[in-house]
């Protein structure tokens, strides 16, 4: 009799344990990812919604309007990217320093979101006088860049540099040479579907690339939640 009672208690404890594990597992699967901050200034101080500052102060800076030409000769505008999550950076095709490493890291991110219609990549040349549409196309082909989601863009230098300074806070990467201003930045900037900056990463560091992939997943969750 005692053995039967002990066996029954063991079964009951086992059932309760299984039920608890199932509940905790379900809770973990349904847990929302941590929200990403917003960045509104050149010092990239992170601000979160609901943590003291008013929402309009947290969401006070958006990427400005632009219209550039990509490697396929098509015009890419800010409006084309509204509703999309995108990663932005600055490069030039004859860069032999950090650019190849950055391009490789962005390639890893692109492959992580292959065929994802909600994720885009935007690389601005900082040498538009050299990087023609034809050269951008060659660079894309040489690096096996998928032009459906990754746009290499050129345009007027003054417009590119103004956008870099005012919208992407790239002033720290701005140097002077004999021809004037020259931008050389390692930053990858994560922009959400409303045009707000939500992340800043060192494009030459692999660990930052992994963090960028995770943060894009967070924004995808946020985007899906907003649309539901």
CA angle 119, 168, 228 (to 5 degrees): 35
Determine the angle formed by the axes of helices 206-227 and 99-112, rounding to 10 degrees: 40
- Given CA atoms 76, 80, 84, 85 in this order, what sign does their dihedral have? positive
The number of residues making up the chain comes to 228
The model's confidence at residue 97, banded by pLDDT at 50, 70 and 90, is: confident
Assess contact for 86 and 120: CB atoms under 8 A.
yes
What pLDDT does 22 receive? Answer: 46
Residues 6+ apart with CB under 8 A from 71: 133, 136, 137, 139, 140, 145, 147, 151, 152
The predicted-structure confidence for 105-141, as pLDDT tens digits, reads as follows 999 999 999 999 999 999 999 999 999 999 999 999 9
Average pLDDT, the chain: 84
Nearest residue to 40 (alpha-carbon basis) of 24, 53, 25: 53
The predicted-structure confidence for 155-190, as pLDDT tens digits, reads as follows 999 999 999 999 999 876 555 554 556 677 889 999
Residues 6+ apart with CB under 8 A from 121: 86, 87, 88, 106, 109, 110, 149, 150, 151
Expressed in angstroms, the distance from the first to the final Cα of the chain is 57
Q: How far apart are CA 35 and CA 22, in angstroms?
A: 26
Query: Given a cut of 50, is residue 12 above it in pLDDT?
Result: no
The model's confidence at residue 11, banded by pLDDT at 50, 70 and 90, is: very low
């Amino acid at each position: 009799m005692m053995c039967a009672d002990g066996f029954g208690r063991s079964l009951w404890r086992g059932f309760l344990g299984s039920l608890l594990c199932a509940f905790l597992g379900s809770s973990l699967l349904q847990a929302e990812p941590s929200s990403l901050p917003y960045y509104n200034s050149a010092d990239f101080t992170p601000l979160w919604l609901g943590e003291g500052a008013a929402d309009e102060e947290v969401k006070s800076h958006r990427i400005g309007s632009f219209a550039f030409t990509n490697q396929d000769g098509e015009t890419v505008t800010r409006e084309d990217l509204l509703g999309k999550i995108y990663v932005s950076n600055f490069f030039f095709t004859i860069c032999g320093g950090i650019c190849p490493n950055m391009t490789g890291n962005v390639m890893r991110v692109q492959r992580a979101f292959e065929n994802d219609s909600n994720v885009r990549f935007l690389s601005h040349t900082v040498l538009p006088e050299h990087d023609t549409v034809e050269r951008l196309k060659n660079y894309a082909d040489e690096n096996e860049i998928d032009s459906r989601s990754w746009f290499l863009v050129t345009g007027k230098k003054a417009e590119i540099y103004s956008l870099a300074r005012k919208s992407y806070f790239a002033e720290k990467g701005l140097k002077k040479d004999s021809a004037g201003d020259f931008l050389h930045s390692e930053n990858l900037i994560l922009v959400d579907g409303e045009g707000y900056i939500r992340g800043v990463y060192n494009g030459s560091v692999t660990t930052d690339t992994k963090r960028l992939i995770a943060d894009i997943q967070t924004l995808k969750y946020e985007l899906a939640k907003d649309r539901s």
